[in-house]
Structure 1
Amino acid sequence: MSVKAPTPTKSQIDELRNLFNEKYEQSPPAVPFHYRDLERIRDGDKWLTRFLEMYDLNTQTSIEKLWETCIWRQQFGTNELNENNLVKEYLHDGVVFAHNKDVDGKALLIFRTKLHVKGTKNMDEVIRVVVYWIERIHRETDLDQMTIFFDMAGTGVTNMDMEFVKRIIETFKLYYPNALNYILIFEMAWVLNAAFKIIKGFLPAKALEILKMISKKDINQYIDKANCLASWGGNDLYEFKFVPEQLKRPTTLTVKSNGALPSEPTSPDSPNEKKVHFANNNRMYAGSEMPECERGYQTLDPMSTMLRISPNDNIYFNRGENSESIIELTCIGKQAITYKIQTTSPEKFRVRPRCGYLAPSETVSVNLMLKQDYHLGESPKDKFLVMCMPAPVGIEPSQQSMSEAWKMKPQNGNDVEQHRLTCNYRSSASAASTPGTCACGKITVFNGGPDEGFSSTKSTNTSDLSTQAKHLESQLRFTQILQCITLVFLLGLCVAVVYLLKTQLNHLPGCIGDEECSVSANCQSRNL
C-alpha cells in the first residue's frame, strides 16, 4: 500500500534531472557528490520519481530536497558505510536488521525495541547502523520501497527511547522520500500509549496513512505467515545473525576537472577531465592532483592517508571550567605535510597550535581548551575539522608560513584530506579509558573542502529539537505516573466496593433471623 502520491510523467522526471545537471555545472558543491548518487540521477528515474512523489510533483521543492540530500549523503558517508567502519557490537546485537518481505513483496526493516536500552549507546553510531541497513536494502532491491516493522513485544519504559525513534523518523522524512510501504507497530503495551501519541506527532501527514497498529491476530494482513517470525505467530524460525553484504564490483566515473557532472560519456584522454577511480567504496585522490610521492591511485584508508589522529573519532572534555583535551597528529606519508584545525564553535574553544608543519613520521600534540563559561551542546554538534595537505616545496616550516599557505590554497582541492572529530563530555565509561584512544578504532576521512556544517554562521534547529524532545519525554513520564496513580486508585475503589458488598451480605441474614425470632415470640405470647 505505500503513500498515495501522484505519478510523475517522463517529462517531469527529465526536467528535474536537467535542473540538477544545470545546477551542478553552474554552482558545483564544495565537495563533489558521490559518484553513485550522480549515477542514480544521470542514469535512472526511480530516485527522481521518489522526490517528485513526495513533494506532489513540485519540481522546485524536489530539486532543493534532492540537493540537500546529496549534501547530507556526502557528509554522512552513506555510500561508504560497511561492516568494517561500523561499531560491530551495534551491528551484531539484533536491534535492527533486514529479513523477509511484507505481503506486497517489500523488504522488512525490523526494529526489536526490547533489545534497546535507552542511554547505553552512542546514538550517532546507532543511526549509522540504521542508515547502513537502509542503504543495503536499497542496493539489494534497486531503490524499492521497504516496510518498517517495530517489534514491541516485551518492550517496557526503559526500552522506549524517544530520541532514537525521533531520529529514525527524521532520517526517513528528510533523506528517504516516499521510501516506505508500511510502518507496522506490533504488540505495543498499553502503558506506552502516551509515548506513541508523541511519536505520531513527529510523523508527516502522509506517513500516518501507512501507520498500522497490529497484533498476532491481524499480522497476516500485512505479512504472510511464512514470512512471520515464530515470535510473531508465524512459521519462520529465523534467529538473527549478521551476514556481510555481497557487494558488486566497483565502477569508474569520469568527472570534469571542476567537479561538474558530465552529461555524456567522454573520452578518458580528454585534457579537461580527470579520471577518478574507486575501490572498496573509498574515495581516491584525482591522479593529476595527488602529491608526487603518492602518484598512482591510492585509497583513503588508515594505512595510506597522510595524517593519523589520536583520538580519531571523539574528543572528550571534563565538565567544569577550562576543560582541556589533547589530540596527537602524526604524519604517516612519505612527504611533509601542513595541517590546519577548524571548529564549528570558535567562540567556545582555544586551539594551540591551530596550524603547523609535520615532517614524515613527526608527531605534534595539539591542546584543545573549552573556554570558561562555555558548555558543549546537548547533542554532539560541536565538532573539529582537521585538514592536511602536502607542504609547499621551498617554504619555511613555520606556523606563519603554513598559515599563509592555507590562505592561498583552495580548500576544495583534491589533495586536501579531512578528518572530523566530535566533542563529548567524558562519561564514567570514557573517563576510565585512556585519553587518545577510541573504542571503535575508526578514521573518518573526506577529500575536498569543508562542509557547510563547519561554518560558524550556519543556523540549525538541533537544540530546538532536543529541547522539544526533552519536553515531550517529561510529559510522557508525567502521563505514566498519572496512569499508575489512577490504577492504584481504581484498585482501592474496587477493594472498598467488595468490602461494602460483603458487609451487606453478612448483615442481611442476621436481620431476617431477628424478624423470625420476633414473630415466634409474638405467637408464643398469644397462645399463652
Structure 2
Amino acid sequence: MSKIAEIRMLFEAKIKDGIPNPPGSFDQRDLDRVKSDKYLYRVLEHCENNVQLAVEMLFNLMLWRKTNAVNEITEENVNAEYLRDGLFFPRGRDIDSCILFIMKSKKFVKGQKDMDALKKVIIYWFERLEREEDGKKMTLFFDMDGCGLSNMDVDIIMYMITLLKNYYPNFVNYIIVFELPWILSAGFKIVKGILPARAVEKLRTINKDKLKDLVAPEQALVSWGGKDDYVFKFISEGQTKSQESKLDTDYSPGEMVSLSPSKVLTFKTEKDVISAHLTIKNMEDSIISFKIRTTAPEKYSVKPSSGILTNGSSQTIHINVNSGFLINSVEKDRFLVLCIQVPKANLSQKELSELWKNSGGKADEYRLKCDCHETEKTTVTKDEPDFLNVKLSNLQDSHRIIMQNIKVLKVYQISTMILTFATALLGYFVYTSRNTHSCDAL
C-alpha cells in the first residue's frame, strides 16, 4: 500500500471512531481535500514522510478549519480597512517562482489594530493564495526597512509562522527578513529561537545588496532597490484573475508556455555583471517540465536550467554571461526552451530523465535570439576604425612589450647571479691564499 493510500485509510478510520468529534463535525469542503493525492503529498512532505504525523496533522487542521469557519472567510467579512492599508499584500516572485507574501512592517504600529481582526485578514490572504497558486509554495517577506520598536510585534509574526507550521502544509519556500534594523535584531533572535529547525533552514535575513540572490530585480519593488514600481492597491480575487488573463499578450493558443520576453533576450551590464532574465509561465491545464539550451553553453550560467511548473505557475530564469566574454559577443547566440508534459510535480530526477529520454519529438520548442542594450553596443562603420580590434591590438602590443621586458629582466637576473658567484669565488681564493701565506711565515 502506498503512503498516500495509508494516510487516507487511517484518517477515515480516525474520524469514524468519533474521537474527539463525530465525522459530521468537519466541513465537507475540507473532507474533499482528502480525495486529492496532491494535497496529501503536501501533508506527507510537510511531516517529513511520516504517515502517523501526517494523519495527525490532517485531523488537527480539519478541526481548526471547522472551529474557525475558515471556508467562510472572504473579503466581504474581514476588516476592509486592514485589507486596503497595504500592511499585507502579494507581489512579485522569488528565484524559485514562488509568490512573495509581503508584510510591510512600517505600516504596523503596536496597539493600533484589533489583533483578532488582523489574524482573520492573515487567514484570508493565506486561503486566497492557496487558491490562486493552486497550493504552490509562497515566500513570507517581512519588509523591515525603516522600522522602529513600535513596528515590531513578535506575537503577530509567530502567529503567521504557527499557521504555516500547523495548518498550511508545505506552503513556505523562504522566510525573508529584509533590512532588519539592529535595534530589532533581539526580537528576531527570539523568533528564531522558537522556530522549528526546518523553518530556521528557510529563514534568510538580507539587505538590498543580497536581495538579488533570492528575488530578481524585475520582481523586486523599487523601494527594495528593484525595478518594479508597483504601488499597492487592493484588488479583489475575481479582478486579479481577469487582469492576469489580459497580461498574457505573448501567448498563442496551443502553446504550452508563455515566455517573457517572447522573442529576444536583451542583455544588460549592471555592476560589471552582464545578464538577462526570462520568465516562463505554464499555460497548460497539466504539469509541464522545461529545459533551456544555448548554442554557447561555455559562455552562459543559466539558473535554473530546468524545472517543473504546475498549471498557471511561472519561473524566472537568470542568465549571466561568464567572465571573459564581451557583451557584444551575445548577439550571435541563440537560446532554446523545450517543454514536455509530465504526470506529477514531485518526480524524482531519475523519473524525469526517463521522461525526457522517451519524449522523442513531442517536446514544444521556443527559440530566442540574443541582443545587448543599445548603450553597451560598439558601433562599427566603414569610415570608423573597429574599436574592439584596436583595443585588442593595443592589448597585444602591451603584452608583447611586457614579455620583452621580462626576457631582459631574466638576462639581468642571470648576469647578476653569475657576477655574484664569481665575486664569491674570487673572495674565497683570496681568503685561502692569505691563510696559506700566514702559515708559511710561522
TM-score (normalizing by structure 1): 0.44
Partners of 1:111 and 1:74 lie apart in 2 by: 27
Q: Which amino acid aligns with 1:82?
A: T
Aligned to 1:106: 98
- The amino acid that maps onto 1:17 is R
| Cα distance in structure 1, aligned partners of 2:46 and 2:239 | 29
Match of residue 41 from structure 1: 34
1:396 corresponding residue in structure 2:
none
Rounded to whole Å, the distance in 2 between the matches of 1:56 and 1:110 is 27
Which of 12, 20, 43 is the aligned partner of 1:21?
A: 12
Counterpart selection for 2:68 from 72, 76, 85: 76
Residues 456-471 of structure 1: matches in 2 within 5 Å? none
CA-to-aligned-CA distance 1:51-85 (integer Å, 9 cap, x gap): 22222222112111210110101111221111110
Match of 1:224 among 210, 216, 225: 216
**2:183 aligned with 1:188:** no
SS in 2 for 1:246: helix
Structure 2 counterpart of 1:116? 108
Q: Secondary structure at the match of 1:217?
A: helix
Shift of 1:132: 0.8
Shift of 1:26: 4.0
Q: 2:49 — aligned with what?
A: 57
After the TM superposition, which segments of 4 or more aligned residues of structure 1 sit over 6 Å from their partners? Answer: none
Q: Given that residues 169 and 202 in structure 1 are in contact (C-alpha distance below 8 angstroms), is that contact kept between their aligned partners in structure 2?
A: no
Give the match for residue 201 of structure 2: 209
User: In 2, Cα distance between the equivalents of 1:144 and 1:33?
Assistant: 24
Distance 1:25 1:247, change over 3 A: farther
Q: How far has the Cα of 1:222 moved from its partner?
A: 0.8
**Distance in 2 between residues matched to 1:65 and 1:207, nearest whole Å:** 17
State the AA in 2 paired with 1:145: K
Q: Which residue of 1 aligns with 2:192?
A: 200
Please list, as runs of the form range in 1=range in 2, the aligned pairs for 1:143-182 lying within 5 A after superposition. Answer: 143-182=135-174
SS in structure 1 of the partner of residue 209 of structure 2: coil
Task: Say which of 4, 11, 23 aligns to 2:2.
Answer: 11
Partner residue of 1:88?
Answer: 80
CA RMSD of aligned residues (A): 1.8
Structure 1 contact 96–112 (Cα < 8 Å) conserved = yes
Distance in 2, matches of 1:57 and 1:218, equals 33
Q: What is the deviation of 1:24?
A: 2.9
| Match of residue 238, structure 1, among 227, 230, 248 | 230
Distance 1:147 1:15 in 2: 30
- Any idea what the Cα deviations from partners look like across 1:305-360, whole Å, max 9, x if unmatched? xxxxxxxxxxxxxxxxxxxxxxxxxxxxxxxxxxxxxxxxxxxxxxxxxxxxxxxx
SS at match of 1:213: strand
* TM-score, structure 2 normalization: 0.52
For 1:174 and 1:185, the matched residues in 2 are separated by 21
Partners of 1:136 and 1:230 lie apart in 2 by 25
Q: Deviations over 1:139-179 (max 9, x none)?
A: 01111111000000011100001221121121112212321
| Mapping for residues 397-436 of structure 1, pairs under 5 Å | none
SS in structure 1 of the partner of residue 237 of structure 2: coil
Q: Which has the higher helix share?
A: 2
Q: Distance in 2 between matches of 1:247 and 1:191?
A: 40
- Counterpart code for 2:94: D
Cα deviations by residue, 1:484-505 (Å, 9 ceiling, x for unpaired): xxxxxxxxxxxxxxxxxxxxxx
Q: Counterpart of 2:120?
A: 128
Q: CA deviation at 1:99?
A: 1.5
Q: Are positions 1:67 and 2:59 aligned together?
A: yes
- 1:260-299 aligned at under 5 Å gives the runs none
Deviation at 1:98, TM superposition (A): 1.2
Residue by residue, what CA displacement relative to the aligned partner does 1:451-488 show, whole Å, maximum 9, x if unpaired? xxxxxxxxxxxxxxxxxxxxxxxxxxxxxxxxxxxxxx
Whole-Å Cα distance in 2 between the matches of residues 239 and 124 of structure 1?
A: 27
C-alpha separation between the residues in 1 aligned to 2:66 and 2:96?
Answer: 32
Moved more, 30-39 or 86-95: 30-39
Quote how far apart the aligned CAs of 1:23 are: 2.5
Q: In structure 2, what is the equivalent of residue 444 of structure 1?
A: none
- 2:72 and 2:214 mapped to 1: Cα distance? 33
Structure 2 residues without counterparts, runs of 5 or longer: 241-442
Deviation at 1:247, TM superposition (A): 9.4
Give secondary structure in 2 for the equivalent of 1:181: strand
Larger RCO (alpha carbons 8 Å, 6+ apart): 1
Q: In structure 2, how many angstroms separate the alpha carbons of the residues matched to 1:178 and 1:204?
A: 14
Gaps of 5+ in 1: 1-9, 249-528
SS in 2 for 1:218: helix
Distance 2:37 2:110 in 1: 40
Amino acid at match of 1:105: S
Letter of the structure 2 residue corresponding to residue 128 of structure 1: K
Deviations 1:11-66 (A, max 9, x none): 10111012112223342834532222222111x12221222222222211211121
Q: Which of 132, 144, 152 in structure 2 is aligned with 1:140?
A: 132
Identity %: 43
